[in-house]
Copies of this chain bind each other. A is one copy, B any other.
């Protein structure tokens, strides 16, 4: 994929008079996104368990559950604690928690919560041993539900599918309740050309892993693939669950990869032009501590300004975004509030205490980013 500005995104309407930088979401678009993917997956007989690391918000998780999500996914114990405190009762921690010391105590406390259905990822027998000890699975406590991570070719975490049977059996023999297997098709993020094959890789890896578990005498109840770009492509036999996250808010990366349509982006940053003193660019008050430095090689700039499609956010320092205005193109005025679409919504949300929740440009409330900073 050639690096480019990407399709022009239809920015959510932003209320006037906000302090800047502000994190704005359009709840109507959020609800539509939650419904759309839920329906598409239901039509395929596949459950949706959205990844809440995208939004870290109990309110947004509630919208997903109201739209039929089967539960939520999180990436850390801290997110699980916050979501459980918020009343979410079915949580999968899709991460190979190494349960010793403080993490063992925290995992045990979550496992013991009344009314919470908790499951946890693992990708080694050693990690399973710590999980079993932490959850008291060998001492008469109800067994901890665990799901084995399989590497579909992403090359990050997860065991080779061909080893799934032996490792799952070892976990079962430790007293754990092995629910099934999961993949993350993160290699889809290499570019739009990688999405379809990443989805196929997930289905293939999960097919092999499922057979492996059956050979070991374990019938998988959860066969879970996950990423927004691969969400529909991976929703095929034997997969019975999808763990997409970014689909809810959208961002420039998702639009470039086909995971969101340009009119389905629900998130925007309101920023002010604070300086036009240096020729050729304007400075906005959204820098690296707002937009992050997340910029895949197939995107130009650290975010886009839909109202100024030729403008490029070419540098960011902590509180400054340097927006290059190509000669002959329109530029925003000093003092103007501009709407910025971030490249990657997940780390951007983690930099704010609250969402400005809107409907059609009208503020309806401030919603906390409840699990902000809960990265462990």
Q: Mark A residues whose CB is within 8 Å of B.
A: 17-22, 53, 75-76, 95-98, 100-103, 106, 123-124, 126-127, 130, 149, 151, 155-159, 186, 272-278, 283, 285, 287-290, 292-295, 315, 317-320, 322, 334-335, 346-347, 350-353, 372-373, 375-376
Contacts and interface: CB of A to CB of B under 8 A. Distances in A.
Contact of A186 (B20, B130, B317): B317
A301 to B, nearest CB: 14
A274 B95 contact: yes
Nearest to A149: B277
Contact of A293 (B123, B292, B317): B292
Nearest to A75: B319
Contacts of A101: 17-19
**Residue among A103, A275, A320 facing the most chain B CB atoms (10 A cut-off):** A275
B346 A373 contact: no
B278 A151 contact: yes
A351 B373 contact: yes
A275 B123 contact: yes
B375 A96 contact: no
Nearest to A272: B98
A274 B127 contact: yes
B347 A289 contact: yes
A125 to B, nearest CB: 10
A375 to B, nearest CB: 5
B373 A274 contact: no
Contacts of A292: 288, 292-293, 347
Given A151-B277, A278-B158, A293-B294, A376 B124 contact: no
A367 to B, nearest CB: 15
A58 B106 CA distance: 30
B335 A21 contact: no
Given A278-B155, A278-B157, A375 B290 contact: yes
A96 B290 contact: no
Nearest to A334: B126
A275 B157 contact: yes
8 contacts: A95-B274, A96-B275, A124-B277, A156-B275, A156-B322, A157-B274, A292-B292, A293-B294
A98 B375 contact: no
